[in-house]
Amino acid sequence: MKRSFDSNLLVSVAGAIAVSVAWAVVGPSLAAGIGLVLALILFANTLAHSNGLERITTALHRVADGDPNASLPLRSRPSTKRLITAAAHLAGALRASRDALTSERLRRRILEEALKEGLVILDAQQHVLVANELAGRMLGLQPEDSRGKLLQQCTRCPELNLLLESAFTTNGRHQADFEPPGSPGLIVEGVVACVADENHCVAGALLLLSDVTAARSLDRMRSDFAANVSHELRTPITNIRGYVETLLQVGLDDPATARKFLDIVHRNASRLGALVEDLLLLSFVESPVSRERIQIAAIPAQRLFDWIKTELGPAAEARGIRLSFCGDPTLCVHANPLLAEQAIGNLVSNAIRYAPDGTLVEFGCTRHGNSVAIAIRDEGPGIPERHVPRLFERFYRVETSRTPELGGTGLGLAIVKHIAMVHGGSIEVQSVVGSGSTFTLRLPVAEQPNAV
């Protein structure tokens, strides 16, 4: 194997021999001059070697700092050639590692931002390795601050702790709904999937969090709706069947009793028919395509009031209730005639049903910008404030004990709300207990020439 010598060492040895010979042959003065020249050569050689190392060191620092333009010196002295070769290999490995790390961070960022769910990655001891922003908002934690900490230290949620315990104990996949702390009303579905190592022990877990508040609310509404429909249908059907069975057993020998029973059957059949009609109408106005299917026209407010007097006037007169119109009779609404009549009819019918005998039900009409506000005012008992937020829900009643006496299907106000929505309008209520209520239906305004 060929050995290499440091150039400075060779210069030093040769210089010592030359100085010794000069001292012996020509004397000390020339020897001193030769020694000085050799010292200068040695210094220059050392300086060049030092500058080469400095350039290599500077280039390596630039590579370590991620400078894409950093490069090692191409020309080098024999003594630093192997060092430059090793440094170039190290720089290449460092760039490859940095590129791989950048790609991995980009993939993780894309995954975290593309997910519509909260994401938390845990190790075998349930320390947080990764948490995205959505998970932070759901659980009330800071993703960066939570890394390396136990998840239980970052958020206080007993239901989530039980879910994690079940998953880590069985080394499987578990899911459950829970309400995170600090977010009342928010329902989160948590799914924990554990990952096992070669010894079948838990190596970590993935926690996915989804906001299912709207979905669970819809499920409850569907369940409540089905239960309410069943209840509302069962009552008249039971009455009809009971009185018909009685008539079949007793016979028609007593005309007065038979007529009384038939009147009850007819009243329950009418109630059943009204419920079915309201269900069909509600289903239509809730449909996403209902706006495309209805025909719109300009309807004068006076025409709507005249229709109310014709249809509901007899029921109001029977109880001494006066129907009054106030406002601009020339105003027109841009709506479907049948749906507009249905909505206003439901509001006036409720006013007549709940208002005391001999009081006033007022039909008001005013323009506000691009909409017409149709207000139905009564002098009834009013609505307690706690009932107002749920007043337009299907089958919701303020006074359930009076429902059999007052009639109605419990769908009237829900139908009004959806009719308003179909037209791009709204419905609101103002009420004071003991001072009556005012329901205001807002529909788009229309010009008179196209009125029907």
Cβ-based neighbours of 112, under 8 Å, separated by 6 or more: 119, 130, 132, 133
- Report the DSSP pairing between strands 188-196 and 297-300: unpaired
What confidence tens digit (pLDDT) does each residue in 203-242 have?
899 999 988 888 887 777 777 777 777 777 887 888 888 8
- Report the DSSP pairing between strands 188-196 and 332-335: unpaired
What confidence tens digit (pLDDT) does each residue in 23-40 have?
455 445 544 444 444 454
Predicted pLDDT of residue 127: 93
**83 secondary structure, DSSP code:** H
Domain boundaries, the chain: 7-107, 115-211, 216-286, 291-450
Predicted pLDDT of residue 136: 87
Considering the segment(s) 115-211 as one domain, its CATH architecture is 2-Layer Sandwich (3.30)
Considering the segment(s) 291-450 as one domain, its CATH architecture is 2-Layer Sandwich (3.30)
Do 123 and 129 touch, CB atoms closer than 8 A?
yes
Predicted pLDDT of residue 391: 87
- Return the CATH fold of 216-286: Helix Hairpins (1.10.287)
Predicted pLDDT of residue 19: 46
> String of b and e for 94-125 (b: at least 16 CB within 10 Å)?
eeeeeeeeeeeeeeeeeebeeeebbbbbbeee
Q: Which residues of the chain have pLDDT under 70?
A: 1-95, 98, 101-115, 399-409, 448-452
Angle ∠(304,307,310) on CA atoms, nearest 5: 155
Do 158 and 181 touch, CB atoms closer than 8 A?
no
115-211 and 216-286 agree in CATH topology:
no
Predicted pLDDT of residue 73: 56
